[in-house]
Amino acid sequence: MNDWSQPEATPSNSTDAAFASPLGATSWRDGFSHDPGFLASQEELRCMLFNIAQSAAPTRVPSPDTQEQDATQLRDREQTPTRPVLSNPRRIEYLKNYVGQVAPWLDMFDSQCTFRVQIPALARSFPALLNAILAISARQMERKEGIQDSFDSLELYQEAIRLLSPLLQMRDPKVVAASVLLCCLEMMSARAQDWHRHLEGCAALFDAFQMNGFSSGLLQAVFWCYARMDLCGALISDGTQSTLLRPSKWLAPGCHEDDAAQLFEAAQSPDMHANYAVYLCAKSCELVADRTQFVELAVQNDCAGDAFNRRWLRLWGDLQNWLNNRPPELLPINTTTTTKPFPHILFLQWAAISSNQLYHTACILLLNLMPKSIKLQPTPAMSALWHARRICGISLANPHHGCLNNAIQPLWIAGRLFSHVSEHTIIVELIRHIEAETGWGACWRIRDLELAWGYQVPRSDRTMDRPRFPIIG
């Protein structure tokens, strides 16, 4: 169990029991996450991020000489030619795969497609970022192709870290983007506790540099990509931890959490409304974790009596307002409830898929925590099973790769509520399909579900990518 009194964004014990999961993140043995070279480089990057975060002094303005020196060093690095990096035809394939397969994951809540359009353009003159792009793409291709012994991605990952090392002290968006890409690479294939270790470094960097979900331009897109990974870590902890970067740190400086709804609404953007769902789900994880601390450790944190009731009701109301105030882009284009055992809920906008799924996930978390003294009008939304069926139905109807990846933890939270073998079989096949289609480590969650269900689900011979998974644009 973590020390609940630790300050925000500090290293934790990697053996935390909350992250206990099978050693293999995949259904086949992937040696990448156990490679000594990867482990050493991962720790090197993590330590660099913490060192930079701890040495940052946001309240002290650097001298003009220091600023000019940093700018000169950065320009020199940017002028380093990237052509040799792409001299290998295989690396050209990695770049094409990044644009076509990987960037859509990262741009899931960004209609401007920052990771697909802007970041590759910046990488043309910034080798550290280019190596990070190629590394994550190579890792995805290796996993899809089942490569177990030879990893181009490791060489590219290590080269990206080497190039980043002298630049991390500079608050340059390209440096932050490269760091987040490397974090995403680790999440793709490492054990859950390893994801947590790297996320800590990124959280410390964002906190120290005061970057948030309302930073301008490139940094805003990079922040929300990080935030979704941070939320993933909180969901994995199963109620024992909040996000590493507390949700209050996601807001613009000086904004109180009571004003968060107005802040997101003021953006007048479907993307930001989708990001608001990420924020509300993170707030739900925070409340669950705070309640766990109160019950198990007697921590005084407004999780008792009327104070807890008020927190619960406020967050529940915010979630229902999110649903009722969705812009047209986040509404389903078709909903069919006659399909069994899960409804068919089709969306046309990428951000709509995952944001609606996160709404249902947050509702399940809160309903599992609902104070007995609270009496609300009976509606379908008051049923955790109703939300669980919609989580599964959304993933079955919408095969966008980024949204499938983002669905792994919601499917685990929803899946534990079902009792029928037919439901279990569909969910297990869906998780296997996600890993096979995207290369993202998902199958370790099957064992967790089987432990919850009390039996091992037999493997089906039928393929999942035929009638159950329609392909949409």
Residue 332's alpha-carbon distances to 223, 335, 393, in angstroms, are 27, 7, 12
**Nearest Cα to Cα of residue 119 among 188, 161, 195, 179:** 179
* pLDDT of 50: 87
Cα distance between residue 256 and residue 402, in whole Å: 31
Residues present in the chain in total: 473
Measured CA to CA, the distance from residue 272 to residue 110 in angstroms comes to: 9
Portion of the chain with pLDDT greater than 90, in percent: 60
Q: How many helices (H) and strands (E) does the chain have?
A: 19, 2
166-184 residue pLDDT tens = 887 777 889 999 999 999 9
Confidence category of residue 73, pLDDT binned at 50, 70, 90: low
Mean predicted confidence (pLDDT) in 101-114: 93
Q: Which of 355, 289, 328 is nearest to 110 (CA)?
A: 355
Q: What is the pLDDT of residues 17-47, one digit of tens each?
A: 443 343 333 445 567 878 898 889 988 988 8
pLDDT in tens, 190-200: 766 566 776 88
From residue 336, how far is each of 169, 341, 342, 390, 397 by CA, in Å?
52, 11, 9, 11, 10
Q: pLDDT averaged over the chain?
A: 84
Q: What is the pTM of this model?
A: 0.87
What is the C-alpha separation between 371 and 315, in angstroms, rounded?
Answer: 13
Is it the case that residue 241 has pLDDT exceeding 50?
yes
CA neighbor of 240 nearest in space, from 289, 300, 311: 289
The two three-digit tokens of residue 49, written as one number: 């991020």
Average pLDDT score over residue span 11-15: 38
- Average pLDDT for residues 140-150, to the nearest whole number? 84
pLDDT for position 51: 85
**What is the sign, positive or negative, of the torsion defined by CA atoms of 338, 342, 348, 354?**
positive
- DSSP class of 459: P
pLDDT band at 401 (very low <50, low <70, confident <90, very high): confident
